[in-house]
Structure 1
Amino acid sequence: MARVADRGQLLLAAAFGLAIVLVALALVVNSVVYTGTLATTDGVGSDERAATRYHHGAVTGTRGLIATVNDRSHASHATLTRNLSTGVTQWDALAGKQYALEGAATNATLSATTNETRIGQDDPTRALTDRSGAANWTVAASVPAIYRQRYTVSRSSLTAVPPGTDCRATGDCFAVVVDNGTDTWRLFAATSPSGTDIAVEIVDPNGATTTCSVAASTATIDLTNGTLAGTACPALDVTAALDGPYTITHRRGDRARGSYRLVVEGIVPAGTAFDNDDAPYARPGVAAVTVRVRYRTADLTYETDTRVLRGGLDG
């Protein structure tokens, strides 16, 4: 069995290495096109054009590598960062050969990483509890930023609120509570008294209440784009109402079933609430990196640090 596992690890390493090589080769082609554009720019010497070309290639290459490593399963942020650093080094080794022919010494290194954690569950029939089934639990504590927070819930799983009843007061409906240690933002989700709508009630840090609803059997509640089932409900945008750091809590997670995706800045330790394979999960990712780019010839020394953001979030 150990030999089979070793072969599997070798295959994964080879696949990752091949992905890096393909990214690097694509960027060499892009660099040629980019050079053709720069060659038409007046007042820029050949060394300056080459340095700009190398810088552009390093940034584009790093962005591609971030997408590559984020798309793979990693046991920890440390492993992910190590693979990304190795990818930048390998890209530089490949791209640097082209510039060496032009008499230039190049170097691109990873100098800083901004971690993110991807939290969620994909089973639309599972309650929004932690792994042990606890209905009230902390999803993420004191994270600097929320990049995405989105829930897709079924109407049939939500608490049916009789006319004249306030489930905020009774505590009978699913709630998302976000606070920064000073102010608190709350979302309550339930079935409308008519039984036909999914209704969400938002209480902002000042105590103002907003209600949005949609006639649907399932609906996506987007807390970073401020929409309910794709329709604008600006009060849902928690990041507009509240500054970080954020602590995100689920209340009465047993009163809602569905899937959700959260992406937050920082490292959320795996514990009783999370598992990398089970639901809910917490998986490491990279939000941004800083790359140090150096380009040197006999007549030019160019060095800069550039922050490279990952591409948009899918799904």
Structure 2
Amino acid sequence: MDNKLQKRKSGALKENSQYALAFGLIGTMLYIAGFPMFVIFFFGIFAYFLWKTFSQPSRNGTREVFEFYLSANEVLRDDERRWFGFEVQEVIVRGERILQMMNGAPPLVYFTLGALYNKIGDHKSAISHLAYVTENEKADESSYVYPSPDLRNYARILRKIEREPSEAPQTSSAVRALERARRNRGKIILENSRLQLKELEGKKEQAMLEQKAQLDKLAIVNADNAAPKSVVQNSEEFASQNGRNHSEQINTQNFENRNTQNKRMTEEPNADPFVNRKPISEVLHDIYDRKQ
């Protein structure tokens, strides 16, 4: 990341060489086409001034950095104010736009963005920005040896504010507060984001496991309910149940008949013992039932 943020000394020489090559090629074509030399020379000077004008660092971009510091410091300041989510998001969007537009953004911008992400609960983004600032040695200001024009202009305005804080007291106070928070609480905020992210991932994993277990149970219940049963098997079970009920009913009737006969024989001892004798068909039926 740091290689993309810092320019080499050869950058300016390379740009000038490209401009000279392009101008030489266009000038040669115009000379061959018959244009006078003074027209070609005037065209070259005019194009050079246009190129230098539009390639100068934007002062509005540098001013936006300090406005971002002011807004972010108000959000991060512990003064019991309750901020709406969209307000914090707007400040974050402004900081992300600075990182995209400014070639060589200051480390304080990264820390401020990380602290804002930590405040809204986006711990993954917070870790990305805070780890770059607190754990990367190349993110220190002393490692920015080859500044971009934007970074040079930013440093010039920052030193002016530090020398004369009365000219921009709110901006000076915001910068000092953010620098103090970066120095004293940068690593603490980073560790807090890592712990929070770990807890969130653990809860998410636990929820996924519980959901999977519930789905497995539901699948087992559905499989049991959807299992087809054989018609023949159902018929056999029904017939077997009816047979058992019929056999129990016959045995009960036979037992009651024998009890009745014994009672009569007891009450009439002189009666004919063969009066209540069973017919041969009933005896055979009883024998058949016992065998079953």
When the two structures are superposed, what TM-score results if normalisation uses the length of structure 2? 0.20
Looking at secondary structure, tell me which structure has more strand per residue.
1
When the two structures are superposed, what TM-score results if normalisation uses the length of structure 1? 0.19
Looking at secondary structure, tell me which structure has more helix per residue.
2
Q: Work out which structure has the larger RCO, using CA pairs closer than 8 Å and 6 or more positions apart in sequence.
A: 1
